[in-house]
Amino acid sequence: MNLDPSTTKYLIKAKIHADGVVEKPDVVGAIFGQTEGLLGDELDLRDLQKSGRMGRIEVSISSERGKSSGEIKMPSSLDQVETCILASALETIDRVGPCKAKIKVDTIEDVRQVKKNQIVERAKELLAALIEESKSTSGDLTSSVREAIQVEEIVSYGKDKCPAGPNVSTSDAIIVVEGRSDVLNLLKFGIKNAIAVEGTNVPGTIRDLASERVVTAFVDGDRGGELILRELLQTIELDFITRAPRNREVEELTQKQIIKALRNKVPVDQYVEMYGLTGIVMPKDTLEAPAKSEPRGGRKDSRGDKGKEQAKEQGKEQAKEQARDRKAPPAPRPEPIRDEPKKELTDDQKLYVELLEKLSGRLKANIIDPKGAVIQELDVKDLTSTLKGYRKKVKAVVFDGVITQRLLDIAVDKDVQDIVGKKMGNVSKVPKNLNIWTLDDLSPR
């Protein structure tokens, strides 16, 4: 009885071609018959199979048009040298049955290495599945716990019960968002001073807060966000504006996107100038002035006798003034107005005017080095953040936008000498060691 080896180390693979029709028993018989005594008693195939050091010889062969071809597989548990000798012996077989044949060894596979590779590949698959499962499980647990905490942290603020973070009542600055989901998403990443408008009608609670706090409007990047922003600009006093990326909502942003959006917030006067929203912004005195109540009885001219008497007195006074004017001597003729001499600009100022004219209408900014060369051109909306992180020496900044307090503070920190902008915004503190010019200041008169 032939026994397969208990531990296969190598697998001999060979191709066979015969000039005639032969079958599997013919090939196996030729292998045993033509190698018998060829390799000595130690490598006799029959003895090796009986001792379990050689496995069962597998032959797959087919015939077509009077010729046969196929594959031979011989498992071996011998060492490398003995296995190679047996493989070489196969190539000495030149006949199978009555037919001429040729056997060619293709490869000798190290079965153990193949198994190791299979183990490694399978282990990788199992490990990847395990890591993915662990991620989803831990993520679900974390998000579940976090969401539970968020629901507990969110509060109803003010008489309008606006959804808000727990720090809205104590924070000096607040973030106005569109809805409850936006507040929850900001809470998820530790931002606890957000309050929601929940609709296009701005609640009185938020209007009251806006008069006392620094307010940042953080709205969606879609059409709805634009409408709410316009409503906010007309009803409350905003300080900064930022928006989610185009066609994205605040409630679906990641932590990185939220932090980036808040860092890139733009002062409201600069935002209005950039996007041409001047006509929809309510003036501050209108926002702060109380509504005047009309007298009872409507606006009909029913001032009564008291009103009529006041009108008569005013008429008498006007008549007296006209009589005095007629008696008074004629006023001397005014001297002709002489043109003021044109303003003399320095070389630096001439350069700034030239650069500002090139930037006009493009919402761009130029950063200038001490030699007067433009070292960078960028969008106005990125100016403050870029200048804040600048390491090179900067002499001047010329930009097609509104000069703000934040820009001036950063310019002082960076030892900038000149700031040139299109207009002056709400600046409460002007640094002494900084030259600030607008287009009007540098225009010749």
Structure confidence by residue, pLDDT tens digits, 245-290:
988 999 999 999 999 999 999 998 888 888 777 556 554 444 444 4
Q: Per the structure block, which two tokens stand in for 336?
A: 């002709």
Q: What is the pLDDT of residue 445?
A: 54
* C-alpha to C-alpha distance for 230 and 221, rounded to whole angstroms: 13
* C-alpha to C-alpha distance for 345 and 112, rounded to whole angstroms: 87
* C-alpha to C-alpha distance for 34 and 54, rounded to whole angstroms: 17
pLDDT digits (tens, 9 = 90+) for 20-72: 988 889 898 888 888 888 888 888 888 888 888 888 889 999 998 889 999 99
Q: Angle CA(166)–CA(169)–CA(173) in degrees, nearest 5?
A: 100
| Residues 6+ positions from 102 with CB-CB distance below 8 Å | 16, 17, 18, 94
CB neighbour burial string for 65-95, b if at least 16 within 10 angstroms, e if fewer? eeebbbebebbbbbeeebbbebbebbeebeb
Q: Per the structure block, which two tokens stand in for 8?
A: 């296969």
Q: What percent of the chain has pLDDT over 90?
A: 29
Predicted model pTM: 0.38
Give yes or no for residue 133 having a pLDDT over 70. yes
Average pLDDT over residues 226-239: 88
Q: What is the pLDDT of residue 234?
A: 87
Average pLDDT over residues 305-322: 52
CB neighbour burial string for 139-152, b if at least 16 within 10 angstroms, e if fewer? eeeeeeeeeeebee
* C-alpha to C-alpha distance for 271 and 278, rounded to whole angstroms: 10
Report the candidate in 170, 174, 140, 168 with the shortest Cα–Cα distance to residue 154. 168
SS3 call for 52: coil
Which of the pair, 154 or 290, is modelled with greater confidence?
Answer: 154
Q: Per the structure block, which two tokens stand in for 55?
A: 């496995």
Q: CA–CA distance from 415 to each of 328, 366, 429 (Å)?
A: 61, 16, 16
Considering the chain, what is the average pLDDT of its residues?
81
Q: What is the pLDDT of residue 218?
A: 95
Q: What is the pLDDT of residue 300?
A: 41
Q: What is the pLDDT of residue 368?
A: 93
66-70, 211-215, 302-306: least confident range: 302-306
Which of the pair, 308 or 366, is modelled with greater confidence?
Answer: 366
Distance from the Cα of residue 146 to its chain's centroid: 23
- Ordered structural domains, the chain, with CATH: 10-109 (3.30.70.2690), 155-287 (3.40.1360.10), 347-442 (3.40.140.20)
Q: Angle CA(369)–CA(374)–CA(378) in degrees, nearest 5?
A: 115
Q: Per the structure block, which two tokens stand in for 34?
A: 């033509």
Write the Ramachandran bin of 156: left for phi over 0, alpha for psi from -120 to 50, otherwise beta: beta
Q: Per the structure block, which two tokens stand in for 12?
A: 């001999």
Average pLDDT over residues 80-89: 90
Instruction: State the DSSP string of 147-211.
Output: HHHHHHH-EEETTTTEEE-TTTTT-SEEEEESSHHHHHHHHHTT---EEE--SSS--HHHHHHHT
Q: CA–CA distance from 326 to each of 100, 332, 333 (Å)?
A: 146, 15, 17
